Chains A and B, each alone.
Chain A
Amino acid sequence: MIHQKGIPMKSVDESKLREIFGDNNVKTDPSDLYAFGSDSSVHHAMPWAVVRPDTTEQVQKLMAYANDALIPVIPRGGGSGMCGQTVPIQGGIILDMKRMNRILEINLPDVYCRVEPGVVDDDLNLALKPHGMFYPPTPASSRIATIGGEIANNASGVRSVKYGATRDAVLGMKVVMPNGDLVTLGAHTRVEASGYQLHKLMVGSEGTLGIVVEATLNFVPIPEYRCMGIANFDDLSHAGGAIGAIMSSGATPSMLELVDSVAIKAVNKTMNLGLKEVAASLIFEADGMVKEAVDYEINKMKEICTKHHGSDIKTSYDPKERAKIFMGRKKLFPALSKYDDSLSSTSLADDMAVPYSKMAEMAGKIHEVAEKNNIIMTAYGHCGSGCMHTKILMDTNREDQWASAKKAITEIYEYVRSVNGTTSAEHGIGLSKAESFKMEKADSLRLLQTIKQALDPNNILNPGKLMQAPEDWVTATGLRYAVHN
């Protein structure tokens, strides 16, 4: 067992874990623990053990034991969370849910499916496809993200502008509570007004309130027609104007994405897509069962883009062309890591949401703050749902760059809050965004803590996250980089 900086070494009863899960489903070697100490965030910390349940009963037994022995338990799906949600900053047991990966039922007449939490998003969509259906909240990381992780982070994606986020798709769930009790929340129906809707509370709870062991999800038909378009803008504010105009025009885009100049450059450089290097591009899409209706939506968006000085406007129904346009966006975040060999792409202040009318101003603000602090930042995102993504490109080995990044982030979040935006639109809070989150939710923090206390009195489920996370994420948690003075 490895001793963690500032955290009391706590012993886990390994034989108890082996008794519950079997030898093949328990890991305690440092080489395994080290790998489970990271996710897609900048943080790293060592857990004490990793276990892999196959059944709900095993999860219940573990929770009963951990609650009794006061050992932190951190549920984990694909480990693609970007804010350190699964990083065990207080040590504890990682509960790897990937083996509970059965698609239990696809119920077409009642339009729902029941899945275990370890089912990978792409796999669910693959299973739904032969039935002409799809599960729409799908994040860009759908090839690795699990349904459990998507629920806990309230994930959303490019199509959420039309179809909503995970919270909108979850009808009900089974949850193991911190003391090991199993509860059934929500229903199998489209609407429910029977009380507190606790299943919706579980969505976005980042593994701090309960462990989802089964979810009932809504799905929708795959549209017959999809048309995608792209428009270039020489000025960021023109693109911003177009976004607001589209969203208030009555058009229903099934996707509306903004990509700024830094992002376009990065995609061109790594993916060779030959996009025109302009100030900003808007990618828009409409879908539906009737071609005339899709035409109507697309034409409306085209018109608005033209009116706001958009140029090189192209649209296509052709799946290959669409895939090409979309691939650039889908691979954008990763492509940023190739922008400059000496710079790494980090996800820090990466998914704030602001009102539509502030999207362009926000993008401008990001560029301004980046320049001032001597780092590179991009602005792109699901602007149709008000979500702006940024990535910070910096030399992660240099301590001064971390200081600059921290300063830039603080300034950006100040702006976000000043225009009534929110700290996170889809990736969640975890560790990295706790500072701004606490300021934004200042008057409800006690309420949040009261809920946590009521459901998890011993504070064993993913402790030290959200409202409990340390404000100073750079110094208070271990980073996954080799940082030098």
Chain B
Amino acid sequence: METKEKTRFKHLEKWDSTLSACIRCGYCFEHCPMFKYTGWESDAPRAKIITAFGLLSGELEPTKMAADKIFNCFYCKRCEAACSSGVTLTEVFTDAKKDLVEMGLKGPGTTSVTYLNCARCLVCVKACPHEARFHGEDGIETDPVKCQACGICVEVCPAGAAKIENNFGTGREDLIAESSRFLSTHASAKAIVFACNWSYFPDLQASRLPESETHDKDYEIYVNMCAGRLESQLLMAPFLNKAWGVLVASCPEDECQHKNGNTRAKKMVESLQSTLERVDIDPARLQVVEIPAGDKTLFQAEIDTFIDRLNAMGPIR
């Protein structure tokens, strides 16, 4: 029997018994957006827990690749909601990140970075809900332990200098490309739904349905980290691709995981609604709905109502 030596993971150390208590059931990867995107089990939450165990026990070398396993996370906490054993995964990740940063392994993973064209206007510093952005020696910097990859800084930065480089499918360009592909390949397509990570826990884990089951779909759901990250170009793009409407799903008032991402989204939608009105498009074709975390029934009901309304309006002429 092996006796495993402890290493220099001082912050992670307090999770020792949690790392053994995790039964490795894998229930946590059912809804993980990271796993869904890469499809690699080694990016799923269970693997992150295994990685943390390996780092703590000394079985796994703390390399850039190993650190990325921990840093590549949206902090959406769906894994915690699904965990069978009450493991607070993101708290474990945060402590692992503290140790890794001390060893000089600081991501970036999914955390946001600042490009050279930063104007130092401090808008992002003010907007960051997690006090992760600050004016440091090298200009505007991000604390990789505090950043939760919500993307609000990306949305507010007027210079386009705040970026999340490793988007894993949640970036504006990815979502525009994916939604246009859906609209152009489905004759019956009417709506695009942009949901935040909390409003929608996708049903299908990853399996692909036969064409016969999906060809008459009239909407598709795309998940974004936080509604506060939705940019105007993204929300308007489906209209250029003949969508009848766009629905945004955010957390209810006061329940936003990123302080005010939902109110930001609301304001964004309101301003775009007036733009639509100015070009004679019914503003009701763009709407926000509030969905409590994981409430599938309400989410489906809201989508059905929205589609009914679009059916009454017909396509945009």
Q: Which residues on A are within 8 Å of B, measured CB to CB?
A: 5, 27, 29-32, 34-36, 38-41, 50, 52, 78-80, 96, 98-99, 101-106, 118-120, 122-124, 126-127, 141, 143-144, 270, 331, 333-335, 337-338, 341-342, 344-345, 347, 396-397, 399, 402, 474-475, 478-485
Contact = CB atoms under 8 A, between A and B. Distances in A.
B41 A36 contact: yes
Interface stretch (B62-70, B120-128, B231-239, B265-273): B62-70
A122 B210 CA distance: 16
Interface stretch (B53-61, B156-164, B255-263, B274-282): B53-61
Interface string B42-85: 10001100110110110111010110110000000000001111
B66 A52 contact: no
B2 interface: yes
Given A30-B63, A31-B51, A341-B17, A479 B1 contact: yes
7 contacts: A30-B65, A31-B42, A127-B213, A144-B26, A337-B23, A344-B20, A482-B3
B34 to A, nearest CB: 13
A38 B25 CA distance: 11
Interface string B217-235: 0000000000000000000
Interface stretch (B96-104, B185-193, B200-208, B305-313): B200-208
A30 B66 contact: yes
A345 B23 contact: yes
Contact of A483 (B1, B26, B42, B61): B1
A345 B84 CA distance: 12
A98 B65 CA distance: 22
A332 to B, nearest CB: 10
Given A31-B60, A333-B23, A36 B42 contact: yes
Nearest to A80: B26
B15 interface: no
Contacts of B213: 103, 106, 127
Contacts of B23: 40, 333-334, 337, 344-345, 347
A126 B61 contact: no
A50 B53 CA distance: 20
Interface string B157-189: 000000000000000000000000000000000
A468 to B, nearest CB: 21
B31 to A, nearest CB: 9
Interface residues of B, number: 52
Contacts of A344: 17, 20-21, 23
B46 to A, nearest CB: 8
A124 B207 contact: yes
Given A34-B54, A35-B41, A143 B210 contact: no
A78 B65 contact: no
Given A120-B205, A338-B85, A485-B3, A96 B41 contact: yes
Contact of A337 (B3, B42, B85): B85
B26 A79 contact: yes
B4 A334 contact: no
B86 interface: yes
B314 interface: no
Contacts of A341: 17, 21
Given A39-B24, A98-B41, A345-B23, A120 B206 contact: yes
B36 to A, nearest CB: 11
A78 B26 contact: yes
Contacts of A397: 16-17, 20
A38 B50 contact: yes
Contacts of B29: 144
A31 B66 contact: yes
Contact of A34 (B16, B26, B59, B84): B59
B205 A123 contact: yes
Contact of B3 (A32, A34, A334, A484): A484
Nearest to B6: A482
Interface centre among A144, A474, A483 (most CB of B within 10 A): A144
Given A79-B26, A341-B21, 19 more contacts: A30-B63, A34-B59, A40-B23, A96-B40, A101-B206, A101-B207, A104-B210, A120-B205, A122-B205, A141-B27, A144-B30, A331-B84, A334-B23, A334-B85, A338-B86, A480-B50, A482-B53, A484-B3, A485-B3
Contacts of A5: 2
A127 B17 contact: no
Contacts of A402: 1
B315 interface: no
Interface string B1-14: 11110100000000
B240 interface: no
Contacts of B301: none
B207 A99 contact: no
Contacts of B6: 482
